[in-house]
Structure 1
Amino acid sequence: MSRKVLGITLAIVGAITMIMNVSFFKETDWYDITRWISFAVFFIGSAMVPNYPKPKDSN
């Protein structure tokens, strides 16, 4: 699995977890913990996605 695919997967999982957290866990004690973990997973996944082109040789 490439780094880009793993990053996209983590970003999607983090975003879905954030949506579920806001929708269902607002009244529970797990709200803050789940929110921070899902934000961290989303951020790490987003950081892994960019795939910049390699510089071409100037020769």
Structure 2
Amino acid sequence: MINKIIGIVLIIVGVVLVMWGYNIYDSASSQLSRALNGDTPIEAWAGMVGGVISVLIGITRLK
């Protein structure tokens, strides 16, 4: 039972992290930075990758 609760929490946290990372990636300052020098903020990558990993771990906890 506790594994299912942990899995659900990890999935929710993962989805929030992915949304936060994409929000940073799609911001106006990030778009300007990508246009000028091609760099993407590390916070955007960390949020999106961390969120996907969290969702995957959460899914494995539900099984």
> Quick check: TM above 0.5?
yes
4+ residue runs over 3 A deviation: none
The amino acid of 2:56's aligned partner reads F
> How many pairs are equivalent?
49
Note the residue ranges of structure 2 that are not aligned, 5 or more in a row.
Answer: 31-40
2:11 counterpart SS class: helix
Percentage identity across paired residues of the two chains: 20
Q: CA RMSD in A?
A: 1.5
Contact 2:9 2:58 in 1 (8 A): yes
Richer in helix (by share): 2
Corresponding residue of 1:12: 12
The amino acid of 2:2's aligned partner reads S
Shift in Å, 1:36: 1.2
